[in-house]
Amino acid sequence: METLATSISWQWACTSGPSSIAATNLASSTTTQKLSISSNLLASGGPYVFTATATQNTNSSPITGSASVSITVALSPLVIQLSKGSGDVNKNIDFTIDASNSKDPDTNSADGLAYAWTCSNHLDGTACSTFQAKAVAPRQFLKQV
How confident is the model over 41-61, as a mean pLDDT?
A: 85
Q: Are residues 66 and 90 in the same domain?
A: no
Residues of the domain holding 38: 9-73
Rounded CA-CA distance 64/54 in Å is 6
First-to-last C-alpha distance (Å) of the chain: 93
Q: Are residues 48 and 81 in the same domain?
A: no
- Mean pLDDT score of the chain, rounded to an integer? 77
Residue 3: inside a domain, yes or no?
no
Q: Are residues 92 and 68 in the same domain?
A: no
Which residue, of 52, 73, 94, is where some domain finishes?
Answer: 73
Residue 91 banded pLDDT, cuts 50, 70, 90: confident
Question: How much is the pLDDT for 130?
Answer: 60
Judge whether residue 113 has pLDDT over 70.
Answer: yes
Question: How much is the pLDDT for 110?
Answer: 80
Least confident of 28-32, 86-90, 92-96: 28-32
Answer yes or no: are the C-beta atoms of 54 and 9 closer than 8 Å: yes
Q: Are residues 101 and 57 in the same domain?
A: no
What are 115-143's pLDDT values in tens digits?
887 777 777 878 876 655 555 555 555 55
Q: Are residues 68 and 22 in the same domain?
A: yes
Q: Are residues 32 and 20 in the same domain?
A: yes
Question: How much is the pLDDT for 86?
Answer: 67
Q: Are residues 144 and 80 in the same domain?
A: yes
Beta bridge partners of residue 109, listed in sequence order: 104
Q: Are residues 20 and 67 in the same domain?
A: yes
Is the peptide bond prior to 138 cis by the omega test (within 30 degrees of 0)? no
Of 108, 111, 110, 131, the C-alpha closest to 120 is: 131
Which residue, of 73, 88, 119, is where some domain finishes?
Answer: 73
What are 57-90's pLDDT values in tens digits?
877 788 999 999 999 988 889 898 888 766 777 7
Residue 54 banded pLDDT, cuts 50, 70, 90: very high
Rounded CA-CA distance 9/24 in Å is 16
Distances (CA, A) of 54 to 9, 28, 33, 48, 51: 6, 13, 9, 20, 10
Q: Are residues 128 and 141 in the same domain?
A: yes
Which residue, of 18, 49, 73, is where some domain finishes?
Answer: 73
* Prediction pTM value: 0.57
Judge whether residue 145 has pLDDT over 50.
Answer: no
Answer yes or no: are the C-beta atoms of 71 and 46 closer than 8 Å: yes
Domain count, the chain: 2
Rounded CA-CA distance 38/107 in Å is 15
Q: Are residues 90 and 65 in the same domain?
A: no
Percent of the chain with pLDDT over 70: 75
Q: Are residues 50 and 28 in the same domain?
A: yes
Q: Are residues 101 and 136 in the same domain?
A: yes
Instruction: Please report the beta strands in 38-119, taking only residues with DSSP state E, as ranges in sequence order.
Output: 45-56, 63-73, 95-98
